[in-house]
Structure 1
Amino acid sequence: MIDWDDAFENMAYIPGGAALPGQWAEAAGAYRAEMAKAGRLQEDVAYGDGPREVMDIFAPESESRGLMVFVHGGYWRAFDKSSWSNLARGCVESGWTVAMPSYPLAPDARISEITQCITRAVTVAAGQVPGPIRLSGHSAGGHLVARMMCQGVLPEDVAARLARVTSISGLHQLGPLTAIKLNDTLRLTPEEAEAESPAGYDPLPGVPLTAWVGAQERPEFIRQTRLIEEVWGLKGADVTSVYDPGHNHFTVIGGLEDPDSPLTKEILR
């Protein structure tokens, strides 16, 4: 019998994992201060009425080539935009404007409500930045950007501008989450889990998806990556999967800081 709690556990399997959130916050704060000093950061841009319905927008030094939206992870229950600001660096230095939204967290919000928030965030950011749109997200954020690629989620004019979606260590089939202790917080019903699983939808035609995962991640995250590749590939989507050698669930996103990393180049491909 599968131990689903163990299957979705990441931190306990990564040496020094408990110290990581503090390190992330320090690196994010330093980059945010750097960009604010340069006058290239808009903080707390509202995309809704709630206190967490705000985003930071990082501008490139020269004319913007388009918009990249990064959606953070944390199992829909932890962190906010300010925990990950440094991950904007790679795309910003490549000439792209980067928007990083916060969103309401469980248990105050259901996953279906968080999906609606990210839809609004992408729509508002798209209204501020012309050109193509690229979406990326990590873990729960990978789920949320994959939901944006499902037909009928984004407004048609915004969906028409999507150039690529990159789900990093994303969760694409939520049914197993109903069987774990975390669901005391998420409050997922079987019906909502099915309705919020990207794998159950048709993807937007003509929009490429990259499913990127660390090769040293927990088997469930590798399965979730393979699942979306297979299901959406059979529906005719252009899906690329990458099993990043040597990386776990947290080191896998480090490449976003580097404009020359394979991950940044794939997001902007």
Structure 2
Amino acid sequence: MASEDLDLEAEYNNRARVPDHPTHIAGWQRDAAAYRETARCELGLSYGPGERHRLDLFLPQDGDTGRPVVLFIHGGYWQGLDKSFFSHLARGANERGLTVAVTNYTLAPAATLGEIVSEIEDASDFLVRRTARPLVATGHSAGGHLAACLMARPDPQTMSVRAAMPISGLFDLPPLVPTSINRALGLTLEEAHRLSPLEWAPPSSGHLVAVVGGAESSEFLRQSRAIADEWGKAGVTTRYHEVPGAHHFDVIAGLADPADPLVDILVGLSAEA
């Protein structure tokens, strides 16, 4: 739970916290487009009827190890960006022999957050059917929330995500309600509680590594620590991992580098999933 003394707008408005964020976002777009030019990939696969029900599949150049597929879910506070900004983040795992899917979902306000969670479940189910493999779910910011939702999914028939690496994830949503971030989301306090993975029955097993940038706000640090602590008590093998000196927009950069610790974590999770 957030402290009542905190300035929640300052804690959660990452674009205001990192003034040069447009440079980072432009870099993502450039590097993602360059990777799509050379990668082995299947682009625009449809997992549902909607315009944004699409995902891209990136395959290892030297052959797949047969391990679980990594599903990356992009951030943007559920209301911005799309998969085309993040293709390059498949590179690190691809070069370690893992197949990576990067998915879209309908953005708020065109979809409610509850509907977005359901769409990500549909994308997950599509991938499992297509590949006949379990998944390792990862995602950045809002995508970290959705990755945790997949792992905590209550339906016992769809236990396809037993490992996750949320990066700068959001698991306790009520602090967002009074901020500018909620204008597009339109969350009531009741909905924020209902859609918070920290308030769900946690998984009783599996593996989760909660990643966050060392230079992020105290609330982002708290949220990652909280899910590692709470799920760890329930029987999940958890770890809290800070990327030294990283802020909200460069914390994901290591995913493009096969030698980076974040890719090491994904490879380790893929062996456990």
Give the Cα–Cα distance (whole angstroms) in 2 for the partners of residues 107 and 19 of structure 1: 26
How far did residue 268 of structure 1 move?
1.8
Runs of 5+ unmatched residues, structure 2: 269-273
The aligned counterpart of 1:22 is 26
Inter-partner Cα distance in structure 2 for 1:163 and 1:267: 13
After TM superposition, the structure 1 stretch with the greater mean CA deviation from structure 2, 225-234 or 180-189, is 225-234
| Cα distance in 2 for residues equivalent to 1:205 and 1:2 | 33
**Percent identity of paired positions between Structure 1 and Structure 2:** 38
For 1:173, the equivalent position in structure 2 comes to: 172
TM-score, structure 2 as length reference: 0.92
> 1:99 corresponds to which residue?
101
Please report how far the alpha carbon of residue 151 of structure 1 lies from its aligned counterpart in structure 2 after TM superposition. Answer: 4.0
Between the aligned partners of 1:97 and 1:185, the Cα distance in structure 2 is 33
Question: Match for 2:64: what amino acid?
Answer: E
1:149-188 equivalent positions in 2, closer than 5 A = 149-153=151-155, 156=157, 158-159=158-159, 161-188=160-187
Query: Is 1:192 equivalent to 2:191 in the alignment?
Result: yes
1:126 touches 1:133 (CA, 8 Å); kept in 2? yes
**TM-superposed deviation, 1:209:** 0.7
CA deviation vs aligned residue, 1:17-73 (integer Å, no higher than 9, x gap): 2222211111100001112xxxx2111101111100100011112134231100000
Alignment partners' CA distance in 2, 1:63 and 1:267? 15
Any residues of structure 2 matched to 1:26-65 within 5 Å, and which?
Answer: 26-35=30-39, 40-61=40-61, 62-65=63-66
1:221: which partner in 2? Answer: 220
Match of 2:253 in 1: 254
Secondary structure of 2:154's match? coil
Query: Which whole-Å CA distance do the structure 2 matches of 1:120 and 1:252 have between them?
Result: 27
Aligned twin of 1:148: 150
Return the offset for 1:204. 2.5
User: SS at the partner of 1:99?
Assistant: strand
* SS of corresponding position for 1:165: strand
Structure 1 residue ranges (4+ consecutive) displaced by more than 3 angstroms after TM superposition: none
Q: Aligned pair count?
A: 262
2:75 to 69, 73, 76: 73
Give unpaired runs (5+ residues) of structure 1: none
Q: Of 117, 122, 128, which aligns to 1:120?
A: 122
Alpha-carbon distance between aligned partners in 1 of 2:147 and 2:237, rounded to the nearest angstrom? 16
The structural deviation recorded for 1:15 is: 4.9
SS of equivalent residue, structure 1 residue 252: coil
